Amino acid sequence: MLRLFVALALPASLRAEIAGLAGGIPGARWVPPENYHLTLRFIGEIEPWRAQEVDDALAAIRARPFTLQLAGVGTFEKAGRIQSLWVGAERNDALTHLQTKVETALQRVGLAPERKRFSPHVTLARTDRAAPEKLMAFVQAYNLFRATPVEVEHFTLFSSRLGKEASVYTPEVDYDLVARVAA
């Protein structure tokens, strides 16, 4: 079985900028900068033959390059507890269009629809053991954070292997976005 997800890989300069925010919250498990990405669709565990179908479907996607702007920080909660800390991505039509195309392509090859609403972000830390007041102070301190905008010219199919300290993400296939989309 392969554990896969589709995401925007971030350039080293942007990962370094985001990494500058990490730290200062006891109990937080900070994501290593090499694991920073913006998930377009989590796939999960699938058979190798189905991975080929996924690759074929993603390769057929046509979308334009666009500018990605990361801005602000926030948290996700589950059952009233803060689970993670993230840097947000400003929504734009091109990002939403790409995510919708990915979702549609994966449903066409038989994957169940994503249950969660798309909320573009880059996870900074897992925070289930951190004090809520420390997390809220962090969000207040960095809520005006704005990263340098970057041009997105491809999206990536990643495999994920669970590790002791952190998952290991391996880019498997890059899919280029094209400047001119055929009508």
Sheet with 121-126, edge to edge strand ranges: 29-30, 121-126, 81-89, 70-78
Positions marked active-site: 37, 121
Q: What is the DSSP string of 73-107?
A: EEEEEETTEEEEEEEEE---HHHHHHHHHHHHHHH
* DSSP H or E run through 19: helix 12-19
The packing angle between helices 93-108 and 48-59, to 10°, is 140
Nearest to 156 by CA among 1, 52, 37: 37
